[in-house]
Amino acid sequence: MVEALGVAVVGFGWMGRVHTQAYARVRHHYPHLALRPELVTVAEEVPGRAEEAAAQFGFASTTRDWREVAADPRVHAVSITAPNFLHREIAVAMAGAGKHIWVEKPVGLSSDDARAVADAVSGAGVQGAVGFNYRNAPAVETARRLIAAGEIGTVTHARLRFFSDYAAHPEGALTWRYERERGGSGVLGDLASHGADLARFLLGDIASLTADTAVFVPERARPASATAGHARATGGEPGPVENEDYVSCLLRFASGARGVLEACRVSVGEQNNYGFEVHGTTGAVFWDFRRMNELRVSRGTEYQDQPVSTVYVGPGDGEFAAFQPGAANAMGYDDLKVVEAHRFLRSIAEGTPYGATLSDAVHSAAVLEAMSRSAERGTWVSPGQPG
């Protein structure tokens, strides 16, 4: 028997919409899921935004105060898609109220925040999921399988990149994303967090690193009203950008492999240029998010001049079969969030975690803090070591 599960969304910007759409679609792709999500309430402090969400998606009620969600007995699971500085307070309260939580990365402003949320989830006996969606791409899961099976030999080195132009325009509004107190560590939390998660997902723990950071657009105009996404502002009072536009990082993995992770939010000419290349002693794998359903693979015994083949993922790879019947039928970004929703709901139904968890968020946050310490000191540091 399929049980109804009351869900809420806290924070209805772009990511709140993506979560809501994932809940609406999840049983279309996973018809045997034991739970049926029902949209109970949406919380958003910007006037009118929650009501618009309810009218479009069918939430039964709205509120401007997320605390009402924690107290609502109809709600069993909550998506937390509010700004970073609110993650810890909201997530700890929701777990304490017995709600399962699906929280967007980076889970707060620090590893202490992420750990507090992980501890709250563990202590309450609820399930917790984190929005590391890129690991859900079937091509990425296939790459992980090939690497683990030794199909490219012993991994020697890797490169991970996350380049975007969403903050490249000098008229981009000075929103919470650019403030240390509310946004945290800039492009580290926004994009490099995905890179840190993918690095560990594919290659294991990072033993040490050294990093460099920079701010390339040092000042922006404050917006005159509420914003969503990456809005522009002209004529507003100028203010300083307090966190990083760019990070480059050298990695040493516990396995002995080496790596490079680079991320930038002001890369003119780059639109979501996310991906990785992993090299081993007998081959390599390459993935580009903009060609999400392809994996370029080189393997064999030739070493020199060894060819690279393009593999189109299909129903035997990751969660592809839940979306498309045959290889080269494309999946998209929103599908990765549907996979995430399914794993979150399956975790609740079965009482065991599937997909990215709060533990993964803690690991990623420790890497980001190590990057910040390294950039300040100009030295190699180990993730998790005392500051």
Fill in the DSSP letter of residue 223. P
Q: Which amino acid is at 4?
A: A
Per-residue CA distances from 276 to 40, 263, 313, 379 (Å) = 39, 12, 17, 25
Structure tokens at 254: 């516990």
- pLDDT computed for residue 176 by the predictor: 85
H or E element in which residue 333 lies:
helix 333-350
Overall pTM surpassing 0.85 (yes/no): yes
Query: CB neighbours (10 Å) of residue 79?
Result: 29
Question: How many CA within 13 A on the CB side of residue 303?
Answer: 1
Q: Are 67 and 86 in contact (CB under 8 A)?
A: no
- pLDDT computed for residue 289 by the predictor: 98
Per-residue CA distances from 307 to 155, 286, 301 (Å) = 18, 13, 11
Query: Cα separation of 18 and 288, whole Å?
Result: 22
Instruction: Give the pairing type, strands 246-253 and 206-214.
Output: antiparallel
State residue 134 phi and psi, 5-degree precision.
-70, -25
Per-residue CA distances from 318 to 10, 243, 249, 330, 339 (Å) = 29, 36, 29, 14, 10
Q: Could you give the domains of the chain?
A: 3-133 (3.40.50.720), 134-329+363-377 (3.30.360.10)
Structure tokens at 128: 């917790």
Burial 33-72 (b: 16+ CB within 10 A, else e): bebebbbbbbbbbeeebbeebbeebebebbbeebeebbeb
- pLDDT computed for residue 4 by the predictor: 96
Q: Are 37 and 26 in contact (CB under 8 A)?
A: yes
Q: Are 233 and 178 in contact (CB under 8 A)?
A: no
Query: Cα separation of 83 and 62, whole Å?
Result: 19
Digit-by-digit pLDDT tens for the chain (387 residues) are: 679 999 999 999 999 999 999 999 999 999 999 999 999 999 999 999 999 999 999 999 999 999 999 999 999 999 999 999 999 999 999 999 999 999 999 999 999 999 999 999 999 999 999 999 999 999 999 999 999 999 999 999 999 999 999 999 988 888 888 999 998 999 999 999 999 999 999 999 999 999 999 999 999 988 765 555 577 766 678 899 999 999 999 999 999 999 999 999 999 999 999 999 999 999 999 999 999 999 999 999 999 999 999 999 999 999 999 999 999 999 999 999 999 999 999 999 999 999 999 999 999 999 999 999 999 999 999 997 766
Query: Cα separation of 70 and 61, whole Å?
Result: 14
- pLDDT computed for residue 338 by the predictor: 98
Residue matched to tokens 């105060």: 65
Per-residue CA distances from 298 to 85, 147, 318 (Å) = 43, 12, 20
Taking each helix axis from N to C end, the angle separating 193-203 and 138-148, rounded to the nearest 10 degrees, works out to 40
Q: Are 243 and 142 in contact (CB under 8 A)?
A: no
360, 363, 365, 367: CA torsion to nearest 10: -140
Query: CB neighbours (10 Å) of residue 218?
Result: 11
Q: Could you tell me which residues come within 8 angstroms of residue 334 by beta carbon, excluding any fewer than 6 positions away?
A: 18, 21, 22, 25
